[in-house]
């Protein structure tokens, strides 16, 4: 924990620092990338940087961690670091890189806050930063040890053994060791980082959930090509990596991927399961269902999925087949455009609606999909009496949070 002196200073200055953190983090990134352009080119997600998502994520993580750190009655602040640590481990982050972040972050803090950063304030927030950094370094080292690799040495080459067009905008890639050796098994819910060299020479990295569809000893992921979009004045560029993979990666090609990481893990219990997904959020659910089928589960499993149409539904036939092979599982699907298909047998038009769906009160619930979808579902689950600690979710964006709508 922080020293008593630093705790008092952080508690007193948290409103000021918290209010300014949105100005501090963009300046921090500009300074760091100016000094280390290779980090922007080869490590950080350029799309998230362009939209400001990464800046907002860092701001939220620092302010949130500091808030928990000085809250005597709050949870252990280290308990909220799992998602960040898994992401860092999947990128091969090294302990010494935290010093680079520290130096440029505190330079930005001093520039934005000016004379408000007294020696006492600087020392207190320095203590906050290193408390968080050292906790992450410790967690990440445990993840490296668990994966059986040296610190940061998470990357390996794999060969694309099979490519399947799952829907008009989604492909699946089955990955195998180039020499035929078995790849380490991933856990249901985990993901791989995939690194590609783009035409401009940048090495960009994205994460994709393991679907569990491959043979034992191989990995399988699905990739949705992300088009450019706009929401008012905010323009989101097309996905650099997803579109590159769609256009250029086929059977026989070699990819650079990480070991499996990810904090979303299926609970091992006899409680009922409810799996709720929308769009490409189906991928971790497919991984869960393959695991449940292989292990011969007798847990009651309720599968709920929403999509734009049957034609746009990636893994549509695979999902139905897996549910059929699990005697205790039932499937409900919603399509915005159902077309000429008849309603019934778990098939409904419109958006996912939990009304009329039997949700066991003691179920473990997993949710994955667009952030607004997950917030709506979580809010409805809470209103239906599902305890918050039984609702688990996977967020694909950088540090986004799911709130009850």
Give the Cα separation of 120 and 103 in Å (integer): 17
The token pair that represents 379 in the structure block:
């809010």
224-231 long-range contacts (CB < 8 A, ≥24 apart) are: 224/169, 224/170, 224/279, 224/280, 224/314, 225/169, 225/170, 225/171, 227/169
Q: Helix, strand, or coil here: 57?
A: helix
Contacts of 73 (CB under 8 A, 6+ apart): none
Give the Cα separation of 110 and 91 in Å (integer): 29
Number of neighbouring beta carbons within 10 Å of residue 200: 9
Residue 237: is it exposed, middle or buried by C-beta count within 10 angstroms (0-12/13-18/19+)?
middle
DSSP-derived letter for residue 65 is H
Q: Which entry of 127, 140, 318, 380 is annotated as an active-site residue?
A: 140
Q: Which entry of 29, 65, 98, 129 is annotated as an active-site residue?
A: 98
User: What is the side-by-side strand order in the sheet with 329-335?
Assistant: 347-349, 329-335, 301-307, 273-278, 364-368, 391-394
Beta strands 170-176; 219-224: pairing state = antiparallel
CA neighbor of 374 nearest in space, from 399, 354, 394:
394
The token pair that represents 279 in the structure block:
């769009």
Is 400 considered catalytic here? no
DSSP-derived letter for residue 210 is B
The residue assigned the tokens 């130096």 is: 103
Is 129 considered catalytic here? no
Q: How many residues comprise the chain?
A: 405
Secondary structure string (H, E, C) spanning 331-377: EEEEECCCCCCCCECCEEECCCCCCCCCCCCCCEEEEECCHHHHHHH
Give the Cα separation of 405 and 403 in Å (integer): 6
Residues catalogued as catalytic: 98, 140
């Amino acid at each position: 924990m922080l020293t008593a002196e630093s705790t008092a200073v952080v508690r007193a200055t948290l409103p000021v620092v918290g209010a300014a953190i949105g100005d501090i983090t963009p300046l921090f990134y500009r300074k760091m990338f100016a000094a280390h352009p290779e980090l922007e080119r080869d490590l950080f997600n350029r799309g998230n940087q362009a939209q400001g998502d990464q800046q907002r994520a860092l701001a939220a993580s620092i302010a949130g961690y500091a808030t928990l750190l000085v809250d005597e009655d709050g949870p252990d602040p280290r308990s909220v670091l799992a998602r960040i640590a898994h992401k860092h481990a999947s990128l091969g982050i090294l302990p010494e890189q935290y010093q680079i972040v520290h130096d440029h972050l505190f330079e930005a803090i001093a520039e934005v806050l000016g004379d408000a950063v007294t020696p006492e304030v600087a020392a207190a927030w320095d203590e906050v930063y290193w408390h968080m950094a050292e906790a992450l370094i410790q967690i990440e080292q445990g993840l490296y040890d668990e994966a059986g690799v040296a610190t940061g040495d998470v990357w390996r080459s794999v060969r694309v053994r099979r490519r399947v067009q799952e829907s008009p905008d989604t492909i699946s890639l089955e990955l195998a060791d180039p020499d035929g050796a078995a790849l380490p098994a991933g856990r249901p819910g985990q993901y791989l980082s995939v690194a590609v060299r783009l035409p401009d020479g940048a090495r960009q990295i994205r994460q994709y959930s393991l679907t569990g569809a491959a043979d034992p000893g191989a990995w399988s992921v699905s990739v949705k090509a992300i088009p450019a979009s706009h929401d008012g004045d905010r323009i989101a560029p097309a996905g650099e990596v997803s579109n590159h993979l769609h256009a250029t990666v086929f059977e026989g090609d070699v990819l650079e991927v990480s070991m499996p990481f990810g904090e979303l893990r299926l609970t091992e219990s006899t409680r009922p399961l409810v799996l709720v997904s929308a769009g490409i959020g189906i991928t971790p659910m497919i991984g869960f269902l393959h695991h449940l089928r292989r292990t011969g589960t007798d847990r009651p499993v309720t599968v709920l999925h929403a999509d734009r149409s049957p034609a746009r539904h990636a893994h549509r036939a695979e999902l139905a087949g897996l549910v059929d092979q699990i005697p205790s599982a039932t499937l409900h699907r919603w399509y915005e455009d159902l077309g000429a298909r008849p309603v019934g047998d778990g098939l409904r038009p419109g958006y996912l609606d939990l009304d009329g769906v039997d949700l066991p009160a003691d179920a473990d619930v997993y949710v994955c999909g667009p952030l607004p979808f997950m917030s709506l579902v979580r809010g409805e689950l809470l209103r239906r009496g599902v305890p918050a600690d039984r609702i688990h979710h996977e967020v694909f964006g950088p540090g986004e949070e799911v709130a009850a709508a």
